[in-house]
Copies of this chain bind each other. A is one copy, B any other.
Amino acid sequence: MAPQVSRRGLLGGGVAAAGVAGAFVTGRATADPEAVLEQASARSASYAFRGAHQAGIVTPAQDRLHFAALDVTSDSRDDLIDLLQRWTAAAERMTKGQGAGEIGPVEGSLDLPPDDTGEAIGLPASGLTITFGFGPGLFRDAEGRDRFGLADRQPEALQTLPHFPADNLDPARSYGDLCIQACADDPQVAVHAVRNLVRLGFGTASVRWSQLGFGRTSSTSTTQDTPRNLFGFKDGTANVKAEEEAALGEHVWVGPDDDPRGDWLAGGSYLVARRINMTIEVWDRQPLGEQERFVGRTKGTGAPLSGGEEFSEPDFEMPGRGGPIIPADAHVRLVHPDRHGGARMLRRGYNFVDGSDALGGLNAGLFFIAYVRDPRTGFIPVQNAMAKSDALMEYLKTTGSALFAVPPGVQPGEWVGQSLFA
């Protein structure tokens, strides 16, 4: 009855199918078993961990995120390499829907801690992708000292991001030597992945901050509809999509000659992470027309205020009442590629709600993730333009920030980041 489910420790047949049955129940009538199987098989979807690029960048954005930034606590290069090797093995297993370790959550000795924590027993792969990145601190410590003999391989572009206007960064939500981006269609699967990888790092690396997200705010494929952020607007309409191979090469993947010190990063990318709180209670009191003028698009279809449909090019010259119909400080105008040498990003962010703040407002917003070929051209100028003039900024407060170099995909027999240590 159950579809193919390979996670270790699945002891009872049909668990996966039964586990998703709830979603198919209308009133009290249980749904068509075939439908249950269809959904279970969807959750069994899995993406290859190995390939030319790491998964989790152009693979279609899943619904849920658990992101963790870690600091390396060991001084040993060997410890670091060992961790990356163990991460590679565990990540490859988990993205297949298996346990983090070879033994599994319940099959081992009763006298030893299991090598998997067990909360994903019976859950399918759920489209899990795990993407690893290296922060500037891995190359040099705060005093500029070479930590692991990697300093001469630090790419020019891999520096702590500059301070932007209106940044209000919490160091406890920023920076990090390593990052893990786990995306899946089931949050329990994403959480399980991060937890087990963090566990493998015990003694070598510890979590600096982590963030959960939901309802991906950008699609990464033309097969996906554009989702909405917590302002209620479609977000990421202009995203570079997986189907745009040429644009990916131009805007997302690091080229072999981009940086002589960073040749190990060819085929990789840079991951910009920004935790952007939204003052949504204040936003919700703005008239619809104001909201649309801030963004420069209609709230319904996402079309530019100059007309057309979602994917129509905005006409920034079209006159409106007392100025252009897309205002001078509209978001869509300030971040448009035409103003930034054609720069485009592959965004892969998520909405977040972390409970409420001390004033009873939702502690909520956008956990922005963008992949760019070079943050110096692909992100920093765009963010500066936005932070200085964008009408939306009144409703945004950036509380976390980090930059990571995401090494290329892992080839058979290799471990993640191996080219950096070659």
Binding site for B on A (CB under 8 A): 9, 11-12, 15, 18-19, 21-28, 30-32, 34-35, 38-39, 41-43, 45-48, 60-64, 66, 68, 105-106, 108-114, 117-122, 127, 172, 185-188, 191, 195, 198-199, 202, 206-212, 214-216, 219, 221, 223-225, 227-233, 242, 280-281, 284-289, 291-292, 298-301, 351, 353-356, 358, 360-362, 364
Contact = CB atoms under 8 A, between A and B. Distances in A.
Contacts of A224: 18-19, 21-22
21 contacts: A15-B225, A18-B223, A19-B224, A22-B219, A22-B223, A24-B45, A25-B127, A26-B45, A105-B299, A110-B288, A113-B288, A118-B231, A118-B299, A121-B228, A121-B232, A188-B214, A188-B228, A188-B351, A191-B364, A195-B284, A202-B281
Nearest to A205: B360
Contacts of A195: 230, 280, 284, 362
A422 B57 CA distance: 58
A299 B106 contact: yes
B35 A42 contact: yes
Contacts of A232: 105, 114, 117-119, 121
Contacts of A47: 27
Contacts of A63: 22-23, 186
A191 B228 CA distance: 13
Given A27-B47, A191-B351, A207-B356, 14 more contacts: A12-B301, A19-B227, A27-B48, A32-B38, A39-B39, A110-B292, A118-B233, A119-B215, A121-B299, A121-B300, A188-B351, A209-B355, A212-B212, A212-B355
B31 A42 contact: yes
B66 A353 contact: yes
Contact of A119 (B228, B291, B298, B356): B228
B358 A25 contact: no
Contact of A280 (B43, B117, B202): B117
Contacts of A30: 223
Contacts of A25: 45, 60, 127, 221, 223
B185 A9 contact: no
Nearest to A227: B19
Of listed A30, A48, A185, A187, residue having the most chain B CB within 10 A: A187
Given A24-B45, A26-B46, A106 B225 contact: no
Contacts of A186: 63, 215
A136 B225 CA distance: 45
A284 B198 CA distance: 11
A376 to B, nearest CB: 30
Nearest to A357: B207
Given A214-B188, A353-B191, A45 B23 contact: yes
Contacts of A113: 284-288
A23 B358 CA distance: 36
Contacts of A11: 300-301
A307 B231 CA distance: 53
A42 B24 contact: yes
Contact of A111 (B27, B289, B354, B362): B289
A233 B105 CA distance: 10
A231 B112 CA distance: 15
Contacts of A26: 45-46
A165 to B, nearest CB: 26
B355 A210 contact: yes
A232 B210 CA distance: 21
